[in-house]
Amino acid sequence: MVDVLLGLQWGDEGKGKIVDYFAPHYDIIARFQGGPNAGHTLYVNDKKVVLHQVPSGIFHENTTNLIGNGVVLDPVTLKRECDTIRSFGVDYRKNLYISERTHLILPTHRALDKASELSKGTEKIGSTLKGIGPAYMDKTGRNGLRVGDLLDKSFTTQYIKLRLKHQKLLDSLNFHEDISAWEEEFFEALEFMKEFKIVNGEYFINDRIRQGKKVLAEGAQGSMLDVDFGTFPFVTSSNTISAGVCTGLGVPPQKIRDVIGVTKAYCTRVGGGPFPTELHDAAGEELRKIGNEFGATTGRPRRCGWIDLVALNFACMVNGVTKLVMTKADVLDAFDELKVCTSYLVNGKKVDQVPFQLTRVTVEPELKSFKGWKTDITALQSAGSLPAVMKQYVAFINEYLGVKVAYISNGPGRDQLIEIQ
């Protein structure tokens, strides 16, 4: 049996914390897409950790963690991350497995990412520049190198061939950067990677599912960044939605049970692209300040706005969400008034669906107002103790989406999560 936990907005919904919380109830936590563009924050012994590629179950002794074939993996970032994990006294080699089909991010992919962003002029994606797009392009272009290739003696020859191809591309884009230091680190990290348990991920996971083990597939980014269904071209390069679990881990769709969708009680986006409910006023500033909305991977300030039910409804539909987790509800504690987007005015016409192109039309959010609860909720532990005004806010969202908020997160800490009956 496989449950999926993924983001429903533009990423950074708090997936890392929620996976860490649920991890003890699962045997395996598996990442199925994305790469080091992700930054998943959790707290271990009250110390903050940001994971980029390693699944967020790594701090639980009895949980197996798998980096699936759908991920693009940067060995250098992995090595750094493993050093951090070890500093918490955790032996990552015991519980961390990598699929041999996982594609590698090379130093030239990072350079190509930069070159591509530069060539976009004013229409920049706002990529994290971790080489994600170019690595996935080499996968679909049938050029990429995979983790399993590392064990082959032709690896260096294959690497040099691909590197030459990339160099030609970089030259044609007139992009020049000395990547020799990156390459040195890369080859060091490859040696380090050989110590890992490199497995055939699809047999590994299906065998365990057959034995009755429980798997939690951990999404990265968010549904509105999905390469097919997000705000293209301002998206990432993978399928972030639940369908990505099948291709990213090799599990059949019938094995998927719950799809747990994570949404903030408001909304953020980092990088370029449309964001209908974005606030450019004092309320947006307040959300950024109270919510500490700065990127976990790049440190960039996140754009902030009200919760967008049109986009969330779309995300629930394409993912088949069965349960919602609402995070960062405590960030709204001090607000007198809250707003919720219930429809868009697209070129003056009211719609309740996400249009094909949000950038080539004028989109005005239609907002419904709610009274703020004006209560510090960070120490609350039960659904019954939540302010009545807050319950109204949540009930409206439940009804609009036709899916229930099953958990409310009221702070970054491991224990700050309230189950709603």
Q: Tokens 């769709």: give the residue.
A: 253
Indicate whether 12 belongs to the interface with ligand GDP (CB under 6 A). Answer: yes
The Cβ-side half-sphere exposure at 283, using a 13 Å CA radius, reads: 17
The residue (of 241 and 296) whose beta carbon lies closer to Mg ion is: 296
Stretch binding ligand GDP (CB under 6 A), from 15-23, 74-82, 303-311, 392-400: 15-23
Sign of the C-alpha dihedral computed for residues 44, 45, 46 and 49 taken in this order: negative
Indicate whether 81 belongs to the interface with ligand IMO (CB under 6 A). Answer: no
Sign of the C-alpha dihedral computed for residues 287, 57, 18 and 71 taken in this order: positive
40/44 Cα distance (integer angstroms): 13
Q: What is the largest CA-CA distance in the chain?
A: 65
Indicate whether 14 belongs to the interface with ligand GDP (CB under 6 A). Answer: yes
CB of 136 to ligand IMO, least distance (A): 9
40 in catalytic set: yes
Q: Of the candidates 37, 63, 69, 231, which one interacts with ligand IMO according to CB under 6 A? A: 37
Nearest to 198 by CA among 148, 248, 258, 136: 148
Indicate whether 114 belongs to the interface with ligand IMO (CB under 6 A). Answer: no
Q: Tokens 């969400």: give the residue.
A: 321
CB of 294 to ligand IMO, least distance (A): 11
Among ligand IMO, ligand GDP, Mg ion, none, residue 128 binds (CB under 5-8 Å by kind): ligand IMO
* Total residues at interface with ligand IMO (CB under 6 A): 25
CB of 299 to ligand GDP, least distance (A): 11
What interhelical angle do 155-172 and 107-119 show, nearest 10?
Answer: 20
Indicate whether 12 belongs to the interface with Mg ion (CB under 5 A). Answer: yes
Stretch binding ligand GDP (CB under 6 A), from 27-35, 182-190, 205-213, 323-331: 323-331
Among Mg ion, ligand IMO, ligand GDP, none, residue 53 binds (CB under 5-8 Å by kind): none
Is residue 232 exposed (0-12), middle (13-18) or buried (19+ Cβ within 10 Å)? middle
Indicate whether 303 belongs to the interface with ligand GDP (CB under 6 A). Answer: no
141/28 Cα distance (integer angstroms): 31
Indicate whether 125 belongs to the interface with ligand IMO (CB under 6 A). Answer: yes
- Pairing verdict, β 256-264 and 64-67: unpaired
10 Å Cβ neighbour count for 351?
Answer: 15
Sign of the C-alpha dihedral computed for residues 250, 256, 258 and 263 taken in this order: positive
How far is Cα of residue 25 from the mean position of the Cα atoms in its chain? 21
Among ligand GDP, Mg ion, ligand IMO, none, residue 411 binds (CB under 5-8 Å by kind): ligand GDP
Among Mg ion, ligand IMO, ligand GDP, none, residue 239 binds (CB under 5-8 Å by kind): none
Footprint on residues 24-83 left by ligand GDP (CB under 6 A) = 39-41
The residue (of 1 and 383) whose beta carbon lies closer to ligand GDP is: 383
The residue (of 377 and 409) whose beta carbon lies closer to ligand IMO is: 409
The DSSP result for 50-98, as a single string, is EESSS-TTTTSTT-EEEE-TTBEE-HHHHHHHHHHHHHTT--HHHHEEE
Q: Of the candidates 7, 55, 75, 276, which one interacts with ligand IMO according to CB under 6 A? A: 7
379/54 Cα distance (integer angstroms): 30
Which residue in the list 3, 20, 27, 40 is annotated as catalytic?
40
Among Mg ion, ligand IMO, ligand GDP, none, residue 327 binds (CB under 5-8 Å by kind): ligand GDP
- Pairing verdict, β 337-346 and 349-351: antiparallel
3 in catalytic set: no
Query: Which residue ranges make up the site for Mg ion (CB under 5 A)?
Result: 12, 39, 296
Query: Which residue ranges make up the site for ligand IMO (CB under 6 A)?
Result: 7, 10-12, 37-40, 125-128, 130, 132-133, 220-222, 225, 236-237, 270-272, 296
Catalytically active residues are 12, 40
Query: Which residue ranges make up the site for ligand GDP (CB under 6 A)?
Result: 7, 11-17, 39-41, 296, 327-328, 330-331, 409-412
